[in-house]
Amino acid sequence: MGLLWLAACAGQGRSIAPPPAPGDCALIAVSSNSWHAGVYLPASAFAEGSALREAFPQAGWFAIGWGDRRAYREALGPVNAVQAIAWPTPSLIHAAGLTRDPRQAYLQDHVDVALSRQGLARLVEAIEAELARGDQGDAILVAPGLDPRGSAFFQARSSYHLFNTCNVWLARHLRGAGVDAGWPGGHVLPASLMARLEARAPRACPPQADAAR
């Protein structure tokens, strides 16, 4: 069972963005379905003309995840579970473009997370950098996604393996965005990441001075 959990879900570290501050804050959410962690981001955080905005022009929000190319799309079984974690395998970005907040659209556990605008920009930049590009610079669409309301799998750049699961991948990028996600490598499954965020990440934007009076 552990292999199945690990297989279904995986950036490179660099300087860390500052934490949120009064007047410099954005709110996102991190989701979990017990084996795979994803992130909910406002579509406005992505530039006009970016791959996801062009794929889902009506979206107000994106629900985004990353995982093994085969196991993410298929029903999990012993073969693709072992293949996903035993050695590096290709990966996919899954993106759903929603017209309403995914915290209401999906019945998944989630944790609200506040971060600075620079942190949000850093997170968006990391996701866009993960998208593999074709000869014309376009993101490479692989298949329709898991949400029939509007979603797609895109080819990703990173390799998925035991030490780079979806939860480790997301924790790395959250940490780079200034979120206290702890040691990314410790989050092989999402439960520890969600617990860390619940305990350490700001859950709301700090009030501005005028509003506090």
DSSP for 7-69, please give it.
Answer: HT------PPPPPPBTTB-EEEEEEESSS-EEEEEEGGGSPTT-HHHHHSTT-SEEEEEEEET
56 in any annotated domain? yes
35 in any annotated domain? yes
194 in any annotated domain? yes
Query: In this structure, which amino acid lies at residue 89?
Result: T
List per-residue pLDDT tens for the chain, 213 residues long: 444 444 444 334 457 899 999 999 999 999 998 888 999 999 999 999 999 999 999 999 999 999 999 888 875 544 555 555 556 889 999 999 999 999 999 989 999 999 999 999 999 999 999 999 999 889 999 999 999 999 999 999 999 988 898 999 999 999 999 999 999 999 988 999 999 999 999 999 999 876 544
Domain extent for 161: 2-206
93 in any annotated domain? yes
Round the CA-based radius of gyration of the chain to a whole number and report it: 17
Predicted confidence at residue 154, as pLDDT, reads: 98
212 in any annotated domain? no
- Its pTM surpasses 0.85: yes
Phi, psi of 6 (to 5 degrees): -65, -35
Phi, psi of 103 (to 5 degrees): -65, -25
| Number of domains making up the chain | 1
65 in any annotated domain? yes
16: exposed, middle or buried (Cβ count in 10 Å: 0-12, 13-18, 19+): middle
Contact status, residue 159 vs residue 89, Cβ threshold 8 Å: yes
90 in any annotated domain? yes
114 in any annotated domain? yes
